Amino acid sequence: MPTLAQRGADQSATAAPEADDPVKTLVGRLELEQYKATVKGLTQFGDRRQGTDRNRMAVDWIEAQLKSYGCPTERIKYEYQPNPPNTAGRGGAGGRGGAGRGSLPPGGGRFKGVRGRTGVNTDPMAQPDDTLRALNMQPTEPGPREMVYCTKVGTTHPEEMYIVGGHMDGHGWGEAANDDGSGTALVMELARVFSGPDVQTERTIRFALWNNEETGSQAARAYIAQRGPMQGKEDPPGSGKYPEPKWLGMIQHDMMMFDHGMPFEDGTISKEQRREADVNIEFQSNSKMAAESQKLAWIFQDANEKYATDYPAFVGRHMTNTDSGPFIDLIAAISLRENERGAQIGAGWDPQWHQPTDVFATYSDKDFRLGLNAAQTTLGGVGTLTGATLKK
Ligand SMILES: [Zn+2]
């Protein structure tokens, strides 16, 4: 056992380099007001439903922002033909879960406690704001689709990369502010920080703003189909350029802001953030890459302990229903969220989910700050994994 004095000496010895930690400096470049402004910018396109002009305008706007940060962009093009429309409206009313309530949460686990209502709003008149209702009025049409991504090329290992993602499409006749403006803005803010003129990373980072998540992650699937086979190939040979670096991991962000706890017995939700609010990092235990994904999840929990200012993070094993899904049998894949997707969001813990109330004005600074803490977590984790440094 060391004496207290020795411990103090040890701590100062390990603390010294931290003062000079470039990742900490980069995390410090994330700001609440900037994060809010980026979410706000996305909400000008309403619910950004796939297959509409408002969705295409949002893709253009995101691309212009990424370029303005100095992050070079490219697009994935694909075709979307929907299955016959799902006419299911909102799910059941609130009430205590358990046997007789039927379904288990997607991705595994069990519903516990009080469940609130879930489902997708398809009624325009449920949106009380005339202007927003008009903005969201154009219906979706099958056909060509696009998504945008941008890339920070690594210095010593440009041939390897991490993919940081969020989905820019939404639905429900609101502004898709939380689902998933909050994750989209997080990815954009990370692209901004990592694209700083004094920032370099040893490995490559790709910032992906998926489209068509709400219809089954068709953009992520198109990305895998089109670019998966190109991984790690130098092109042209001898150029030192890798159009598609080898995928080391995928970190998805989907619904980052609202952690107000379990519904009350009447199905309503607290107006206040719960005091135990946290970031939920999930991997999928039922996948080929479960061991690697779990390891990645712990790295991000460590990054949260080290770099996030206000909220802790916890790891769960039932990642589901977002764009990291198509990657789970290919590479290490995790998602960061406000709650567990299956047993909590799936049980109605987020009353704005796919509803007209998912608008910027619904959220408090505490909610936005939870999203910012997820940004700090991912920036810390990805900055560490890719060897981020600052040019002197
Ligand atoms: Zn989502």
Comparing 66 with 20, the larger pLDDT belongs to 66
Torsion of CA 240, 64, 62, 44, to 10 degrees: 180
Which amino acid does the sequence have at 61? W
Distance 321 CA to ligand 1 centre (A): 8
CB of 105 within 8 A of CB of 318?
yes
Distance 168 CA to ligand 1 centre (A): 9
How far is C-alpha 202 from the geometric centre of its chain's CA atoms? 23
For the chain, what percent of residues have pLDDT higher than 90?
88
Distance 179 CA to ligand 1 centre (A): 5
pLDDT of residue 19: 66
DSSP category for residue 288: T
pLDDT of residue 272: 98
pLDDT at 330 over 80: yes
Alpha-carbon span 206 to 225, nearest angstrom: 17
pLDDT at 323 over 90: yes
Distance 340 CA to ligand 1 centre (A): 13
Q: Which segment of 96-105, 231-240, 250-259, 378-387 scores lowest on mean pLDDT?
A: 96-105
Distance 337 CA to ligand 1 centre (A): 10
Distance 322 CA to ligand 1 centre (A): 6
93 burial level (CB within 10 Å; 0-12, 13-18, 19+): exposed
pLDDT at 98 over 50: no
Distance 389 CA to ligand 1 centre (A): 32
Average pLDDT across the chain, whole number: 92
Distance 254 CA to ligand 1 centre (A): 5
Distance 87 CA to ligand 1 centre (A): 19
Distance 74 CA to ligand 1 centre (A): 22
Half-sphere exposure of 342 (CA within 13 A, CB side): 20
Give this prediction's pTM. 0.92
pLDDT of residue 84: 62
Task: Identify the band that residue 392 occupies on the pLDDT scale cut at 50, 70 and 90.
Answer: confident
Alpha-carbon span 42 to 183, nearest angstrom: 11
The average pLDDT across 24-45 equals 98
Give the tens place of pLDDT for each residue, 178-195: 999 999 999 999 999 999
Give the tens place of pLDDT for each residue, 265-314: 999 999 999 999 999 999 999 999 999 999 999 999 999 999 999 999 99
Alpha-carbon span 375 to 383, nearest angstrom: 12
pLDDT of residue 170: 98
Give the tens place of pLDDT for each residue, 99-144: 335 588 999 999 999 999 899 999 999 999 999 999 999 999 999 9
CB of 142 within 8 A of CB of 81?
yes
pLDDT of residue 21: 97
For the chain, what percent of residues have pLDDT higher than 70?
90
**Nearest CA among 192, 113, 119 for reference residue 150:** 192
- What Å distances lie between residue 161 and 73, 153, 239, CA to CA? 16, 8, 18
Distance 342 CA to ligand 1 centre (A): 13
Alpha-carbon span 291 to 115, nearest angstrom: 31
CB of 269 within 8 A of CB of 351?
yes
Torsion of CA 101, 103, 106, 108, to 10 degrees: 90
Distance 255 CA to ligand 1 centre (A): 6
